[in-house]
Structure 1
């Protein structure tokens, strides 16, 4: 289950930065996107539109594990009002290139070539 605080971040802070880390033959790789681009599927996977992310895709083909961080200064965290909050998400990722989920995301993001679909193993509040 996706924590309510994480859902609040995605709604309130669309311009917040998301970092996605993968591990491949050449080591770690990090790519960014925006909070506002993330959609939640009916089975609570994160759907992230993919324009480029070629290195991310190659790494996931070898190792599906991802780490994702995101946050917002506008959402109260663990340390009181106004301090902001953030999450570390651990999960497994796949790429979706066709089908109804792809078509639905493509209506919103005409530039996407795939969806990075992340099944969440854990979502830990860090702030």
Structure 2
């Protein structure tokens, strides 16, 4: 599911913005592309320092939409590639995937594991 272009974007520095839906409407937060790790199941591991509202929205059934982009990656029309990734997520605060994230991000209280169901290239 995660093609080479997506994987290259995740090695570039840039904002990665994601949105969930709560009872009061959309909730948008962000991290850095370079903070996101890929596991053996093509799921994205995102360190969570806070993200409390995001976690609550996911527990209440919200999906996740993540926007990633990097100017230094070849896109559809030249320099710059970006994707909208849609999927479901869960939070873990123990276990192997949490420990993997914690090695690089000591401030992480949990890991958000994002299972991508759809990837749409925008640029």
TM-score between both structures, scaled by the size of structure 1: 0.94
The Cα of 1:103 is off from its aligned counterpart by 1.0
Aligned to 1:33: 31
CA distance in 1, matches of 2:90, 2:21: 14
Out of 70, 73, 76, which is 2:74 matched to? Answer: 76
Aligned to 1:8: 8
How big is the alpha-carbon RMSD for the aligned residues of Structure 1 and Structure 2? 0.8
Q: TM-score, normalised by structure 2?
A: 0.97
User: Mind listing any 5+ residue stretches in structure 2 that lack a counterpart?
Assistant: none
Task: Pick from 84, 87, 90 the counterpart of residue 83 of structure 2.
Answer: 87
Distance in 2, Cα, partners of 1:64 & 1:46: 17
User: 5 Å matches for 1:1-127?
Assistant: 1-11=1-11, 13=12, 15-80=13-78, 82=79, 84-127=80-123
Gaps of 5+ in 1: none
Cα drift, residue 64 of structure 1: 3.7
Higher-strand-fraction structure: 2
Matched-pair contact (CA < 8 Å) for 1:64–1:94: no
Tell whether the 8 Å contact from 2:22 to 2:62 is kept in structure 1 after alignment: no
